[in-house]
C-alpha cells in the first residue's frame, strides 16, 4: 500500500478523486482536507460528487443503477443479435482472445461478473473440456494407466468432463440471466455452471474463493468502478487473476474518427431497426466514451490492490484486456 | 497544506475532473448528436443527422418488408422520409378552415381522450358507433400508435401524429378490415390523398406477400376503387373527427364522395 501522503496527493490529482472522497474507506484522508474558513466548500463538493454520468447525461448516483438496469432489461432479448450486428461478429474473436489469455486449466474456479448471457462462461467450459480431453489423451498415449477410480468412474459415466472446473455467472439483471439460462439449456451446458443474481459492487461471495474473475463489457456500466475492483480483489484467492475485457480508447486517429462515425451514426440506427430501442444503444455508445482510457483504468486496478497489472489493446484499442494478479 | 494552496489546487483540478469524460470539441456535436437535453423540439424528439435519417429510412424499409409485424418500422419510415410532404400537408391544412382548427387545437385520439361510453351510446349507423365497432371487431386500440420521434419540426410532428391517429378513421370510412389486404387498400387511398413516401412505398411493396388470388382482386377491383375515391375526396386530415361522432356514416361518406367497397374482403389474404 502506498504511503499515506502520496496517496492523498495521488487522489488529488483528479484521477478519480471524486468517487474516492465521499465513499472513502480511509476516514483519515477526509480529516487531512483543510476545513475552517472554507467550511462551506466540502458540502458543495459532496453534492456534486453524488452525481455521475449516464452516457452524456448527468444523473444522480442512485438513479444510475436503476437506469442501467432498465437499459439491459430492454435489450436482453436481442442482446446477442445486436452484438453480432454492431461488431460484425468481431466480439466473438475478442471473447476468444480473452479465453486464450486466461488459458484456464481443468480445476479452475471462474467467476464471471456481469456475465449475463453467458458468452464467457460457455467459452470457458468449452476450453477446459478440450484441455481435459487433451490431458487424458496424452495420459493414454504415454501409456500411463488410468487409476482404478478413474476406470470405475468411466464405467459409471460419472467422470467429470471438466476436471473439476466450475464457473459462476453473476449478473445484476434478471432478464440477462434469464437469457443466459435459456441459451445454456439450448446449447446443452449443464455441468459446472451456476447462475447467481448479484451486484458487482457487493458480491454475494466469501473472500478468497475464485481463481479467476472476469468482467466482459460490464464494468463501464457499474456506478462505482472502484468498489467493483475492490470486490474483485476480495473474492479472488491469493494468486488469483483479474481479467477485464472492455471498450477503451482508440490509439489511431483515423480509426478513431471512423469508429466515432460508426458508433454515433450507425449503432443507434441498428438499435432502432433491430431491437426497436434507440435510446439504449445511444447510452451504450456514450458510456464507452465516458470510460477511463487504458492507463487510467490500469491505475484504478492497481489502486484496488492488484499487482502486475497489464493491458493489451485489440483492434487498435477499440477494446482492451486488462489483467492483474492478487498476490 | 494551506487553505490558499488548497483552493488553487482545487480550481486547477476542476477542468481535470471534467476530462474524466474525455470531452470532444463542440464542433463534433452533429457527429455525436445526443438524444437528450437541450435541442429537443418536443418531449419525444430524438434529433438525428442526415446520415442517420438515411440509414433509418433504409433500415426500417428493409425490416418492415422482412417482418410485417414491425409496425414501428413503418412509422419510422414515415417520419424519416416525409419531411417535405408533411410541409405540403401542413400548408394545405392551414388553408382549410377545419384543418386550421385542428392545427390550432391539436386534438389527440387515444383511450384517454375518447369517451367510449358516449360513443357506444350513439345511434347504430353514426360514425362514432361504427368507429367503435371497427375497434372492437378488429381488436385494435387507438393507443398503439407510437409517438413521433424523428421529425425535426414540432408542428410537422403533430401532423404525422394526427395522420397516424386518423388511420383507423380512414379504415372505418372505407369499410376496410385490418388484414393485410385491407391495410394495403387503405395505404393506396392514403398514398393518393397525402403523397407521403411511406404510403407510396407500402402501397407498392406491400402486395409482395399476397397470394395470387388476393393480388388479382386487389389489382382488378380494390386499387382502382381506392384511387378513385382518394382523388375525389378532400384530404381526410382536414376532418375534425371528434366533432363528427354523431354524423351518420352514410352522410359522411356522401360528403366525402366515398362509395361502398366493391366487395367484402374479410375472408381474403
Q: What is the pLDDT of residue B7?
A: 54
Question: Which positions in chain A touch B56 (Cβ < 8 Å)?
Answer: 269, 272-273
What pLDDT is stored for residue A14 in this prediction?
Answer: 38
Flag if B22 and A13 touch (Cβ within 8 Å): no
Q: Which helix (H) or strand (E) holds B122?
A: none
pLDDT in tens, chain B (269 residues): 555 565 555 555 444 443 344 444 333 444 455 556 667 888 889 999 999 999 999 999 999 888 878 888 999 999 999 999 999 999 999 999 999 999 999 988 888 888 888 888 888 889 989 888 888 888 888 877 788 999 999 999 999 999 988 888 898 889 888 888 888 999 999 999 999 999 998 889 888 878 888 888 888 888 999 999 999 999 999 988 888 888 898 999 999 888 888 887 776 65
Size of interface A-B (CB pairs under 8 A): 86
Q: Is A65 on the interface with B (CB under 8 A)?
A: no
CB A177 within 8 A of CB A171: yes
Cβ–Cβ below 8 Å for B70 and A276:
yes
pLDDT at A252: 92
**Is the ipTM reported for this complex over the cut 0.90?**
no
pTM: 0.77
Answer yes or no: do A14 and B16 touch at CB < 8 A.
Answer: yes
Residue whose grid cell is 494478479: A325
Of the candidates B37, B52, B72, which has its C-beta nearest A57's C-beta? B37
Cβ pair B20:A16 closer than 8 A: yes
B56 with A33: Cβ contact below 8 A: no
Q: How far is A42 from chain B (nearest CA, A)?
A: 11
> Is there a contact between A201 and A224 (Cβ–Cβ < 8 Å)?
yes
Task: Indicate the residue of A38, A260, A264 with minimum beta-carbon distance to B3.
Answer: A38
B28, A293: Cβ pair inside 8 Å? no
Contact A187, A126 (CB under 8 A): no
- Average the pLDDT over A197-201 and give the result: 95
Give A245's strand partners.
Answer: A216, A321
Q: How far is A91 from chain B (nearest CA, A)?
A: 22
b/e map A220-247, b = 16+ CB within 10 Å: bbbbbbbbbbebbbbbbeeebbbbbbbb
Q: How far apart are the first and last CA of chain A?
A: 13
Q: How far apart are CA A263 and CA A275, in angstroms?
A: 16
Strand A210-216 to A236-247 pairing:
parallel
Chosen for mutation from A4, A57, A256, A273 (greatest number of chain B CBs closer than 10 Å) is A273
Strand extents, DSSP E, A21-138:
51-54, 57-60, 109-113
Annotated binding site of A for S-adenosyl-L-methionine: 117, 171, 199-200
- For residue A4, pLDDT over 60 is answered with no
Amino acid at each position: 500500500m502506498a504511503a499515506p501522503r502520496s496517496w492523498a496527493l495521488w487522489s488529488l490529482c483528479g484521477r478519480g478523486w471524486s468517487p474516492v472522497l465521499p465513499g472513502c474507506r480511509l476516514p483519515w484522508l477526509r480529516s487531512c482536507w483543510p476545513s475552517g474558513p472554507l467550511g462551506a466548500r466540502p458540502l458543495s463538493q459532496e453534492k456534486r460528487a453524488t452525481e455521475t454520468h449516464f452516457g452524456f447525461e448527468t444523473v444522480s448516483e442512485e438513479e444510475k443503477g436503476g437506469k442501467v438496469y432498465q437499459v439491459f432489461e430492454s435489450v436482453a432479448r436481442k442482446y446477442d443479435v445486436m452484438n453480432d450486428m454492431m461488431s460484425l461478429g468481431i466480439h466473438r474473436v475478442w471473447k476468444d482472445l480473452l479465453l486464450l489469455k486466461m488459458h484456464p486449466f481443468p480445476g479452475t474456479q471462474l467467476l464471471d461478473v456481469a456475465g449475463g448471457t453467458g458468452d464467457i462462461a460457455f467459452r470457458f467450459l468449452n476450453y477446459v473440456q478440450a484441455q481435459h480431453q487433451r490431458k487424458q489423451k496424452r495420459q493414454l498415449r504415454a501409456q500411463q494407466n488410468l487409476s482404478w477410480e478413474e476406470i470405475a468412474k468411466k464405467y459409471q459415466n460419472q467422470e467429470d468432463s471438466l476436471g473439476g472446473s466450475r464457473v459462476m455467472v453473476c449478473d445484476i439483471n434478471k432478464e440477462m440471466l434469464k437469457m443466459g439460462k435459456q441459451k445454456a439449456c439450448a446449447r446443452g451446458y449443464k455441468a459446472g455452471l451456476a447462475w447467481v443474481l448479484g451486484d458487482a459492487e457487493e458480491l454475494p461471495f466469501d473472500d478468497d474463493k475464485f481463481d479467476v474473475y472476469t468482467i466482459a463489457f460490464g464494468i463501464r456500466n457499474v456506478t462505482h468502478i472502484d468498489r467493483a475492483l475492490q470486490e474483485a480483489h476480495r473474492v479472488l484467492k491469493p494468486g488469483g487473476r483479474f481479467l477485464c475485457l472492455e471498450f477503451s480508447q482508440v490509439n489511431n486517429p483515423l480509426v478513431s474518427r471512423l469508429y466515432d462515425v460508426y458508433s454515433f451514426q450507425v449503432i443507434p440506427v441498428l438499435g432502432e431497426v433491430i431491437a426497436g430501442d434507440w435510446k439504449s444503444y445511444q447510452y451504450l455508445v456514450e458510456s464507452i466514451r465516458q470510460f477511463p482510457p487504458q492507463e487510467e483504468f490500469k491505475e484504478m486496478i492497481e489502486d484496488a490492490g492488484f499487482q502486475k497489472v497489464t493491458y493489451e489493446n485489440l483492434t487498435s484499442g477499440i477494446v482492451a484486456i486488462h489483467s492483474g494478479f492478487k498476490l | 497544506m494551506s487553505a490558499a494552496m488548497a483552493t488553487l489546487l482545487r480550481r486547477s483540478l476542476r477542468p481535470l475532473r471534467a476530462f474524466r469524460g474525455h470531452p470532444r470539441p463542440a464542433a463534433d456535436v452533429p457527429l455525436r448528436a445526443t438524444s437528450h437535453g437541450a435541442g429537443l423540439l418536443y418531449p419525444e424528439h430524438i434529433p438525428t443527422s442526415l446520415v442517420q435519417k438515411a440509414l433509418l429510412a433504409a433500415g426500417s424499409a428493409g425490416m418492415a418488408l422482412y417482418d410485417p409485424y414491425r409496425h414501428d418500422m413503418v412509422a419510422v419510415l414515415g417520419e424519416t422520409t416525409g419531411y417535405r410532404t408533411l410541409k405540403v400537408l401542413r400548408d394545405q391544412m392551414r388553408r382549410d378552415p377545419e384543418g386550421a382548427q385542428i392545427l390550432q387545437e391539436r386534438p389527440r385520439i387515444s383511450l384517454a381522450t375518447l369517451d367510449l361510453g358516449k360513443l357506444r351510446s350513439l345511434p347504430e349507423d353514426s360514425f362514432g358507433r361504427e368507429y367503435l365497432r371497427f375497434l372492437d371487431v378488429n381488436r385494435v386500440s387507438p393507443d398503439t400508435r407510437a409517438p413521433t420521434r424523428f421529425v425535426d419540426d414540432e408542428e410537422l410532428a403533430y401532423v404525422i401524429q394526427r395522420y397516424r391517429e386518423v388511420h383507423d378513421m380512414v379504415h372505418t370510412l372505407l369499410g376496410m378490415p385490418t388484414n393485410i389486404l385491407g391495410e394495403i387498400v387503405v395505404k393506396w387511398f392514403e398514398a393518393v390523398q397525402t403523397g407521403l413516401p411511406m404510403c407510396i412505398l407500402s402501397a407498392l411493396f406491400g402486395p409482395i406477400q399476397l397470394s395470387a388470388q388476393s393480388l388479382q382482386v386487389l389489382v382488378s377491383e380494390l386499387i382502382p376503387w381506392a384511387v378513385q375515391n382518394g382523388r375525389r375526396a378532400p384530404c381526410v386530415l382536414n376532418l375534425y373527427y371528434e366533432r363528427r361522432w354523431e354524423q351518420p356514416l352514410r352522410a359522411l361518406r356522401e360528403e366525402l364522395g366515398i362509395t361502398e367497397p366493391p366487395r367484402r374482403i374479410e375472408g381474403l389474404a
